[in-house]
Structure 1
Protein backbone atom coordinates (compact mmCIF):
# COMPACT_ATOMS: atom_id res chain seq x y z
CA UNK A 1 0.00 0.00 0.00
CA UNK A 2 1.46 3.35 -1.04
CA UNK A 3 1.17 6.47 1.04
CA UNK A 4 -1.38 7.77 -1.48
CA UNK A 5 -3.59 4.72 -1.00
CA UNK A 6 -3.24 5.19 2.76
CA UNK A 7 -4.23 8.83 2.48
CA UNK A 8 -7.31 7.80 0.53
CA UNK A 9 -8.19 5.19 3.17
CA UNK A 10 -7.83 7.78 5.94
CA UNK A 11 -10.24 10.09 4.17
CA UNK A 12 -12.97 7.60 3.36
CA UNK A 13 -16.07 7.08 5.45
CA UNK A 14 -17.97 3.82 5.67
CA UNK A 15 -20.69 3.59 3.07
CA UNK A 16 -24.08 3.94 4.71
CA UNK A 17 -22.78 5.77 7.79
CA UNK A 18 -23.76 9.23 6.58
CA UNK A 19 -20.17 10.42 6.93
CA UNK A 20 -20.10 9.62 10.65
CA UNK A 21 -17.95 6.46 10.74
CA UNK A 22 -14.54 6.11 9.11
CA UNK A 23 -14.10 3.29 6.60
CA UNK A 24 -13.32 0.18 8.62
CA UNK A 25 -12.55 -3.52 8.26
CA UNK A 26 -15.74 -4.57 10.05
CA UNK A 27 -18.26 -2.68 7.94
CA UNK A 28 -19.64 -0.85 10.98
CA UNK A 29 -21.91 2.04 10.03
CA UNK A 30 -23.38 3.01 13.41
CA UNK A 31 -21.44 5.72 15.26
CA UNK A 32 -22.42 4.52 18.73
CA UNK A 33 -21.53 0.93 17.87
CA UNK A 34 -18.09 2.06 16.73
CA UNK A 35 -17.57 4.18 19.85
CA UNK A 36 -18.53 1.22 22.03
CA UNK A 37 -16.16 -1.10 20.17
CA UNK A 38 -13.25 1.33 20.36
CA UNK A 39 -13.86 1.88 24.08
CA UNK A 40 -13.92 -1.84 24.76
CA UNK A 41 -10.74 -2.44 22.80
CA UNK A 42 -9.02 0.39 24.64
CA UNK A 43 -9.98 -1.15 27.98
CA UNK A 44 -8.43 -4.42 26.83
CA UNK A 45 -5.22 -2.60 25.96
CA UNK A 46 -5.19 -0.93 29.39
CA UNK A 47 -5.52 -4.31 31.05
CA UNK A 48 -2.72 -5.72 28.95
CA UNK A 49 -0.37 -2.83 29.74
CA UNK A 50 -1.14 -2.27 33.41
CA UNK A 51 -1.76 -5.77 34.74
CA UNK A 52 1.95 -6.33 34.21
CA UNK A 53 4.55 -3.97 35.64
CA UNK A 54 4.48 -0.73 33.61
CA UNK A 55 7.67 0.02 31.76
CA UNK A 56 10.39 1.48 33.94
CA UNK A 57 12.73 2.22 31.03
CA UNK A 58 12.46 5.26 28.77
CA UNK A 59 9.60 5.07 26.31
CA UNK A 60 9.98 5.73 22.62
CA UNK A 61 7.38 6.79 20.10
CA UNK A 62 7.57 3.39 18.39
CA UNK A 63 5.93 1.92 21.49
CA UNK A 64 3.09 4.43 21.23
CA UNK A 65 2.63 3.47 17.57
CA UNK A 66 2.46 -0.14 18.71
CA UNK A 67 -0.22 0.74 21.28
CA UNK A 68 -2.27 2.39 18.54
CA UNK A 69 -1.84 -0.68 16.31
CA UNK A 70 -2.81 -3.07 19.09
CA UNK A 71 -5.84 -0.96 19.95
CA UNK A 72 -7.30 -0.30 16.49
CA UNK A 73 -5.45 -2.67 14.17
CA UNK A 74 -8.45 -4.98 13.78
CA UNK A 75 -10.68 -2.01 12.95
CA UNK A 76 -8.70 0.32 10.65
CA UNK A 77 -6.06 -0.53 8.06
CA UNK A 78 -4.04 2.57 8.93
CA UNK A 79 -3.81 1.87 12.68
CA UNK A 80 -0.29 2.48 13.97
CA UNK A 81 0.65 4.53 10.91
CA UNK A 82 1.39 8.23 10.97
CA UNK A 83 -1.40 10.20 9.35
CA UNK A 84 -1.12 11.71 5.88
CA UNK A 85 -4.34 13.70 6.17
CA UNK A 86 -4.34 17.22 7.61
CA UNK A 87 -6.77 17.54 10.52
CA UNK A 88 -8.70 20.42 12.09
CA UNK A 89 -11.09 20.75 15.02
CA UNK A 90 -13.49 23.68 15.25
CA UNK A 91 -11.25 25.64 12.90
CA UNK A 92 -8.06 24.81 14.83
CA UNK A 93 -5.33 23.19 12.74
CA UNK A 94 -3.19 20.44 14.19
CA UNK A 95 0.35 19.93 12.91
CA UNK A 96 0.63 19.61 9.15
CA UNK A 97 0.94 15.95 8.20
CA UNK A 98 4.26 16.40 6.42
CA UNK A 99 5.83 17.79 9.60
CA UNK A 100 4.85 14.90 11.85
CA UNK A 101 8.03 12.75 11.49
CA UNK A 102 10.25 15.72 12.40
CA UNK A 103 8.00 16.72 15.30
CA UNK A 104 8.01 13.17 16.65
CA UNK A 105 11.79 13.10 16.64
CA UNK A 106 11.78 16.23 18.79
CA UNK A 107 9.06 14.81 21.04
CA UNK A 108 11.06 11.66 21.60
CA UNK A 109 14.13 13.67 22.51
CA UNK A 110 12.45 16.28 24.72
CA UNK A 111 9.91 14.14 26.57
CA UNK A 112 9.98 10.38 26.05
CA UNK A 113 13.74 10.03 26.52
CA UNK A 114 13.26 11.34 30.09
CA UNK A 115 10.66 8.81 31.17
CA UNK A 116 13.16 6.57 32.92
CA UNK A 117 13.92 9.34 35.44
CA UNK A 118 10.41 10.57 36.25
CA UNK A 119 10.48 9.30 39.82
CA UNK A 120 13.18 11.85 40.62
CA UNK A 121 10.87 14.76 39.80
CA UNK A 122 9.02 16.69 42.49
CA UNK A 123 5.24 16.90 42.20
CA UNK A 124 5.36 20.38 40.68
CA UNK A 125 8.09 19.35 38.24
CA UNK A 126 6.07 16.33 37.16
CA UNK A 127 2.92 18.43 36.72
CA UNK A 128 4.80 20.68 34.33
CA UNK A 129 6.37 17.74 32.50
CA UNK A 130 3.02 15.98 32.07
CA UNK A 131 1.25 19.17 30.98
CA UNK A 132 3.87 20.01 28.39
CA UNK A 133 4.16 16.50 27.00
CA UNK A 134 0.38 16.14 26.79
CA UNK A 135 -0.12 19.44 24.98
CA UNK A 136 2.66 18.72 22.51
CA UNK A 137 1.34 15.24 21.75
CA UNK A 138 -2.14 16.61 21.05
CA UNK A 139 -0.74 19.40 18.86
CA UNK A 140 1.20 16.85 16.79
CA UNK A 141 -1.92 14.63 16.53
CA UNK A 142 0.12 11.85 14.94
CA UNK A 143 -2.71 9.48 14.00
CA UNK A 144 -5.86 9.76 11.92
CA UNK A 145 -8.10 8.82 14.84
CA UNK A 146 -7.79 8.15 18.57
CA UNK A 147 -5.17 10.77 19.50
CA UNK A 148 -7.07 12.10 22.52
CA UNK A 149 -7.68 8.70 24.05
CA UNK A 150 -4.16 7.51 23.29
CA UNK A 151 -2.75 10.67 24.87
CA UNK A 152 -4.61 9.81 28.08
CA UNK A 153 -3.17 6.31 28.00
CA UNK A 154 0.27 7.89 27.65
CA UNK A 155 -0.44 10.23 30.58
CA UNK A 156 -1.48 7.24 32.67
CA UNK A 157 1.67 5.35 31.75
CA UNK A 158 3.83 8.36 32.61
CA UNK A 159 1.97 8.89 35.88
CA UNK A 160 2.49 5.28 36.96
CA UNK A 161 6.14 5.38 35.93
CA UNK A 162 6.57 8.50 38.06
CA UNK A 163 5.16 6.68 41.10
CA UNK A 164 1.62 8.07 40.94
CA UNK A 165 -1.54 6.25 39.87
CA UNK A 166 -3.93 6.14 36.92
CA UNK A 167 -5.66 9.47 36.48
CA UNK A 168 -9.36 10.38 36.64
CA UNK A 169 -10.15 12.50 33.58
CA UNK A 170 -13.77 13.24 34.48
CA UNK A 171 -12.85 16.83 35.40
CA UNK A 172 -11.36 17.35 31.94
CA UNK A 173 -14.50 15.92 30.36
CA UNK A 174 -16.63 18.25 32.46
CA UNK A 175 -14.67 21.31 31.32
CA UNK A 176 -14.05 20.46 27.65
CA UNK A 177 -14.00 24.07 26.50
CA UNK A 178 -11.31 25.02 29.01
CA UNK A 179 -9.35 21.88 28.12
CA UNK A 180 -9.36 22.75 24.42
CA UNK A 181 -8.33 26.33 25.16
CA UNK A 182 -5.47 24.93 27.27
CA UNK A 183 -4.30 22.92 24.25
CA UNK A 184 -4.51 25.99 22.04
CA UNK A 185 -2.52 28.05 24.54
CA UNK A 186 0.33 25.58 24.14
CA UNK A 187 0.88 26.73 20.56
CA UNK A 188 2.52 29.87 21.93
CA UNK A 189 4.32 27.98 24.70
CA UNK A 190 1.82 28.84 27.42
CA UNK A 191 1.38 25.61 29.40
CA UNK A 192 -0.08 27.16 32.56
CA UNK A 193 -3.74 26.31 31.77
CA UNK A 194 -2.83 22.66 31.15
CA UNK A 195 -0.66 22.62 34.26
CA UNK A 196 -3.73 23.64 36.24
CA UNK A 197 -5.75 20.82 34.68
CA UNK A 198 -3.02 18.27 35.40
CA UNK A 199 -2.56 19.53 38.95
CA UNK A 200 -6.30 19.15 39.57
CA UNK A 201 -6.34 15.45 38.65
CA UNK A 202 -2.97 14.32 39.99
CA UNK A 203 -3.43 12.77 43.46
CA UNK A 204 -1.88 14.59 46.42
Structure 2
Protein backbone atom coordinates (compact mmCIF):
# COMPACT_ATOMS: atom_id res chain seq x y z
CA UNK A 1 0.00 0.00 0.00
CA UNK A 2 1.34 3.45 -0.91
CA UNK A 3 1.64 5.95 1.90
CA UNK A 4 0.22 9.43 1.57
CA UNK A 5 3.74 10.85 1.65
CA UNK A 6 7.22 9.76 0.75
CA UNK A 7 9.66 11.05 3.34
CA UNK A 8 13.25 10.67 4.42
CA UNK A 9 14.94 11.36 7.72
CA UNK A 10 14.18 11.32 11.44
CA UNK A 11 10.57 12.48 11.17
CA UNK A 12 9.75 9.54 8.90
CA UNK A 13 9.59 6.87 11.61
CA UNK A 14 6.35 4.91 11.76
CA UNK A 15 4.49 3.43 14.69
CA UNK A 16 5.46 -0.25 15.16
CA UNK A 17 2.63 -2.51 14.09
CA UNK A 18 1.07 0.06 11.76
CA UNK A 19 2.47 -1.43 8.53
CA UNK A 20 4.07 1.98 7.93
CA UNK A 21 0.65 3.61 7.67
CA UNK A 22 0.76 5.71 10.87
CA UNK A 23 3.59 7.98 11.93
CA UNK A 24 5.23 7.24 15.28
CA UNK A 25 3.08 8.89 17.93
CA UNK A 26 2.77 9.42 21.67
CA UNK A 27 -0.40 7.34 22.03
CA UNK A 28 0.78 4.22 20.21
CA UNK A 29 -2.01 4.48 17.64
CA UNK A 30 -1.52 1.97 14.82
CA UNK A 31 -4.76 2.17 12.84
CA UNK A 32 -4.91 4.95 10.21
CA UNK A 33 -8.63 5.55 10.77
CA UNK A 34 -8.08 5.89 14.51
CA UNK A 35 -5.35 8.44 13.86
CA UNK A 36 -7.55 10.35 11.41
CA UNK A 37 -10.30 10.43 14.02
CA UNK A 38 -7.94 11.64 16.74
CA UNK A 39 -6.54 14.39 14.51
CA UNK A 40 -10.05 15.50 13.57
CA UNK A 41 -11.24 15.76 17.17
CA UNK A 42 -8.18 17.81 18.10
CA UNK A 43 -8.58 20.00 15.01
CA UNK A 44 -12.18 20.79 15.98
CA UNK A 45 -10.94 21.90 19.40
CA UNK A 46 -8.32 24.13 17.78
CA UNK A 47 -10.93 25.68 15.46
CA UNK A 48 -13.17 26.44 18.43
CA UNK A 49 -10.30 28.09 20.25
CA UNK A 50 -8.88 30.11 17.36
CA UNK A 51 -12.05 31.11 15.48
CA UNK A 52 -14.60 31.42 18.28
CA UNK A 53 -12.98 31.91 21.66
CA UNK A 54 -9.94 34.03 20.83
CA UNK A 55 -9.81 35.21 17.22
CA UNK A 56 -6.41 36.81 16.53
CA UNK A 57 -7.70 40.10 15.11
CA UNK A 58 -4.19 41.31 14.37
CA UNK A 59 -1.28 40.70 12.05
CA UNK A 60 -0.46 36.99 11.97
CA UNK A 61 3.04 35.54 12.18
CA UNK A 62 4.82 32.29 11.42
CA UNK A 63 4.97 31.77 15.17
CA UNK A 64 1.15 31.79 15.24
CA UNK A 65 1.08 28.98 12.68
CA UNK A 66 3.66 26.97 14.60
CA UNK A 67 1.69 27.49 17.81
CA UNK A 68 -1.53 26.32 16.14
CA UNK A 69 0.25 23.25 14.84
CA UNK A 70 1.64 22.43 18.29
CA UNK A 71 -1.70 23.01 20.01
CA UNK A 72 -3.40 20.79 17.46
CA UNK A 73 -1.02 17.84 17.22
CA UNK A 74 1.15 18.20 20.31
CA UNK A 75 -0.64 15.39 22.14
CA UNK A 76 0.02 13.05 19.23
CA UNK A 77 3.44 13.81 17.75
CA UNK A 78 6.66 14.90 19.49
CA UNK A 79 7.61 17.14 16.57
CA UNK A 80 4.33 19.11 16.46
CA UNK A 81 5.07 22.77 15.90
CA UNK A 82 8.59 22.08 14.62
CA UNK A 83 9.57 22.79 11.05
CA UNK A 84 9.81 19.83 8.70
CA UNK A 85 13.27 18.26 8.66
CA UNK A 86 12.59 15.73 5.90
CA UNK A 87 12.04 16.06 2.18
CA UNK A 88 8.53 15.18 1.07
CA UNK A 89 6.41 14.75 -2.01
CA UNK A 90 2.85 13.83 -2.83
CA UNK A 91 1.38 12.49 -6.03
CA UNK A 92 4.62 12.97 -7.93
CA UNK A 93 4.96 16.56 -6.71
CA UNK A 94 7.93 17.56 -4.55
CA UNK A 95 7.44 20.21 -1.88
CA UNK A 96 10.11 22.71 -0.91
CA UNK A 97 13.39 21.12 0.20
CA UNK A 98 13.62 21.00 3.99
CA UNK A 99 16.76 23.19 4.27
CA UNK A 100 14.96 25.97 2.36
CA UNK A 101 11.94 26.12 4.69
CA UNK A 102 13.19 28.78 7.17
CA UNK A 103 14.07 31.17 4.32
CA UNK A 104 10.82 30.51 2.48
CA UNK A 105 8.78 31.04 5.65
CA UNK A 106 10.51 34.37 6.25
CA UNK A 107 9.45 35.40 2.75
CA UNK A 108 5.94 34.08 3.39
CA UNK A 109 5.63 36.09 6.57
CA UNK A 110 6.81 39.25 4.82
CA UNK A 111 4.89 38.87 1.56
CA UNK A 112 1.66 37.32 2.84
CA UNK A 113 1.06 37.58 6.57
CA UNK A 114 2.41 41.12 6.99
CA UNK A 115 0.89 42.32 3.74
CA UNK A 116 -2.59 40.88 4.18
CA UNK A 117 -3.39 40.40 7.86
CA UNK A 118 -5.44 41.46 9.62
CA UNK A 119 -7.88 41.33 6.70
CA UNK A 120 -10.05 44.18 7.95
CA UNK A 121 -11.85 46.36 5.40
CA UNK A 122 -11.03 44.07 2.46
CA UNK A 123 -13.35 43.92 -0.51
CA UNK A 124 -14.42 40.44 -1.62
CA UNK A 125 -11.87 40.42 -4.42
CA UNK A 126 -9.05 41.70 -2.21
CA UNK A 127 -9.79 38.98 0.32
CA UNK A 128 -10.01 36.30 -2.36
CA UNK A 129 -6.64 37.30 -3.81
CA UNK A 130 -5.02 37.42 -0.36
CA UNK A 131 -6.33 34.01 0.67
CA UNK A 132 -5.48 32.39 -2.68
CA UNK A 133 -1.90 33.62 -2.73
CA UNK A 134 -1.33 32.74 0.93
CA UNK A 135 -2.87 29.29 0.54
CA UNK A 136 -0.83 28.37 -2.51
CA UNK A 137 2.47 29.59 -1.09
CA UNK A 138 1.92 27.84 2.25
CA UNK A 139 1.09 24.54 0.54
CA UNK A 140 4.13 24.79 -1.75
CA UNK A 141 6.39 25.35 1.27
CA UNK A 142 4.69 22.58 3.28
CA UNK A 143 6.54 23.62 6.43
CA UNK A 144 5.36 20.85 8.76
CA UNK A 145 5.66 17.07 8.65
CA UNK A 146 1.89 16.54 8.75
CA UNK A 147 -1.29 18.61 8.61
CA UNK A 148 -0.23 21.39 6.23
CA UNK A 149 -3.42 21.29 4.17
CA UNK A 150 -5.68 21.50 7.19
CA UNK A 151 -3.57 24.21 8.81
CA UNK A 152 -3.64 26.23 5.59
CA UNK A 153 -7.45 26.03 5.63
CA UNK A 154 -7.51 27.28 9.21
CA UNK A 155 -5.35 30.21 8.10
CA UNK A 156 -7.76 30.93 5.25
CA UNK A 157 -10.72 30.77 7.65
CA UNK A 158 -9.03 33.13 10.11
CA UNK A 159 -8.36 35.58 7.28
CA UNK A 160 -12.00 35.33 6.18
CA UNK A 161 -13.35 35.90 9.69
CA UNK A 162 -10.94 38.79 10.20
CA UNK A 163 -12.53 40.26 7.08
CA UNK A 164 -16.03 39.90 8.50
CA UNK A 165 -16.99 36.82 6.49
CA UNK A 166 -17.80 33.28 7.56
CA UNK A 167 -15.29 30.41 7.24
CA UNK A 168 -14.91 28.97 3.77
CA UNK A 169 -16.97 26.06 2.44
CA UNK A 170 -14.40 23.61 1.09
CA UNK A 171 -16.85 21.09 -0.36
CA UNK A 172 -16.09 22.10 -3.96
CA UNK A 173 -12.38 21.61 -3.32
CA UNK A 174 -13.08 18.09 -2.09
CA UNK A 175 -15.31 17.31 -5.06
CA UNK A 176 -12.72 18.55 -7.57
CA UNK A 177 -9.41 17.55 -6.02
CA UNK A 178 -7.57 17.23 -9.32
CA UNK A 179 -8.49 20.78 -10.32
CA UNK A 180 -7.58 22.02 -6.84
CA UNK A 181 -4.13 20.40 -7.01
CA UNK A 182 -3.68 21.78 -10.52
CA UNK A 183 -4.39 25.25 -9.14
CA UNK A 184 -1.70 24.72 -6.50
CA UNK A 185 0.76 23.70 -9.21
CA UNK A 186 0.06 26.90 -11.15
CA UNK A 187 1.48 28.76 -8.17
CA UNK A 188 4.92 27.49 -9.12
CA UNK A 189 4.82 30.00 -11.96
CA UNK A 190 3.17 32.66 -9.76
CA UNK A 191 -0.19 32.18 -11.46
CA UNK A 192 -2.75 32.44 -8.67
CA UNK A 193 -5.87 32.95 -10.78
CA UNK A 194 -6.86 29.24 -10.74
CA UNK A 195 -6.77 29.22 -6.94
CA UNK A 196 -8.65 32.51 -6.82
CA UNK A 197 -11.47 30.69 -8.64
CA UNK A 198 -11.64 28.00 -5.95
CA UNK A 199 -11.37 30.50 -3.10
CA UNK A 200 -14.15 32.55 -4.68
CA UNK A 201 -16.40 29.47 -4.77
CA UNK A 202 -15.54 28.56 -1.19
CA UNK A 203 -16.08 32.09 0.12
CA UNK A 204 -19.04 33.39 -1.87
CA UNK A 205 -21.09 30.48 -3.25
TM-score where L is the length of structure 1: 0.93
Residue of structure 2 equivalent to 1:68 = 69
Counterpart mapping for 1:148-163 below 5 A: 148-163=149-164
Residue of structure 1 equivalent to 2:3 = none
**Aligned residue pairs, count:** 198
Could you tell me whether the CA contact under 8 Å between 2:116 and 2:130 is conserved in 1?
Answer: no
Residue of structure 1 equivalent to 2:4 = none
Could you tell me whether the CA contact under 8 Å between 1:14 and 1:29 is conserved in 2?
Answer: yes
Residue of structure 2 equivalent to 1:17 = 18
- Write the deviation string for residues 138-189 of structure 1: whole angstroms up to 9, x where unpaired: 0000000000011001100011011111111111011111011110110011
Distance 1:84 1:117, change over 3 A: closer
Cα separation, 2, equivalents of 1:116 and 1:105: 15
Could you tell me whether the CA contact under 8 Å between 2:10 and 2:85 is conserved in 1?
Answer: no
RMSD: 1.3
Runs of 5+ consecutive residues of structure 1 not aligned to the other structure? 1-6
Residue of structure 1 equivalent to 2:113 = 112
Which secondary structure state, in structure 1, belongs to the residue aligned with residue 120 of structure 2?
Answer: helix
Residue of structure 2 equivalent to 1:32 = 33
Cα separation, 1, equivalents of 2:189 and 2:19: 37
Cα separation, 1, equivalents of 2:25 and 2:9: 13
Distance 1:126 1:76, change over 3 A: same
Could you tell me whether the CA contact under 8 Å between 1:115 and 1:161 is conserved in 2?
Answer: no
Residue 116 of structure 1: how far off its partner (Å)? 4.0
Cα separation, 2, equivalents of 1:186 and 1:56: 27
Which secondary structure state, in structure 1, belongs to the residue aligned with residue 56 of structure 2?
Answer: coil
Runs of 5+ consecutive residues of structure 2 not aligned to the other structure? 1-7
Which secondary structure state, in structure 2, belongs to the residue aligned with residue 88 of structure 1?
Answer: strand
Counterpart mapping for 1:132-143 below 5 A: 132-143=133-144
Residue of structure 1 equivalent to 2:50 = 49
Query: Are residues 1:92 and 2:93 paired?
Result: yes
